[in-house]
Amino acid sequence: MTTTAFLQTRQSARIINGVHTEVLVTGFRDKILVLVTQYGKIGSLLHVTMQSQTMTTSDTLSSSSNNVNFLLGSHSPLYQLYATNFSTIISSENPNEGRSLLIGLALKVNKKNNNNNNDNIDDEFEFDKELFEQVELMVKECKVW
């Protein structure tokens, strides 16, 4: 009798900018769960619907933008950027991947020191390139697609 695993899980942990960071990726039949935490919590929860990609005549991938929905927590543009990046990583490594993503993000982000009363949320948080790149590498290491 042959048994097929229903899910596949990978995880990674490292210190990024002096903060312990963990990534857990689990592949289910219908979804891929990606958890990234520096707090030991799920944090903000996002759902990303993957759009199918097609090959163009020049052998490059063409895709429409993925649909990102915030389910719980902060509606941070930074978190939307992380979610979009994760879906781009997955679709570039496996263009036939059709499962949607459920993403939990709990990252320590630095607030900008804005003295002007600008209520634009896009300007509220600093972009930490080192954190972004390291998290991207960790997600790639935890490939289940």
The domain that contains 17 carries what CATH number?
A: 3.30.230.90
Mean pLDDT in residue range 29-34: 96
Mean pLDDT in residue range 5-28: 95
Token pair 């759009």 is found at 51
The reply to whether 4 falls in a domain is no
The reply to whether 2 falls in a domain is no
Mean pLDDT in residue range 29-43: 97
Q: Is the pLDDT of residue 118 over 80?
A: no
Length reported for the chain:
145
The reply to whether 75 falls in a domain is yes
pLDDT above 90 as % of the chain: 69
pLDDT at 4: 63
pLDDT at 56: 47
Q: Is the pLDDT of residue 32 over 90?
A: yes
CB 109 within 8 A of CB 121: no
Q: 116 CB contacts (<8 Å, ≥6 apart)?
A: none
Tell me the pLDDT tens digit for each residue of 50-89: 875 544 444 444 444 579 999 999 899 999 999 999 999 9
Q: Which domain holds residue 40?
A: 9-141
- The alpha-carbon radius of gyration of the chain (Å, integer) is 16
The reply to whether 133 falls in a domain is yes
Please return the burial class of 35, using the count of CB atoms within 10 Å of its CB with bins 0-12, 13-18 and 19+. buried
Q: Is the pLDDT of residue 94 over 70?
A: yes
Q: Is the pLDDT of residue 124 over 80?
A: no
Tell me the pLDDT tens digit for each residue of 102-113: 999 999 987 766
Q: What is Dmax (Cα atoms) for the chain?
A: 67
Average pLDDT, the chain: 85
d(CA 18, CA 30): 35
Tell me the pLDDT tens digit for each residue of 3-15: 567 889 999 999 9
> Quick one: residue 43, left, alpha or beta (phi over 0 = left, psi -120 to 50 = alpha)?
left
CB 43 within 8 A of CB 105: yes
* Total count of domains within the chain: 1
pLDDT above 70 as % of the chain: 77
The reply to whether 48 falls in a domain is yes
Please return the burial class of 106, using the count of CB atoms within 10 Å of its CB with bins 0-12, 13-18 and 19+. buried
Please return the burial class of 34, using the count of CB atoms within 10 Å of its CB with bins 0-12, 13-18 and 19+. buried
The reply to whether 83 falls in a domain is yes
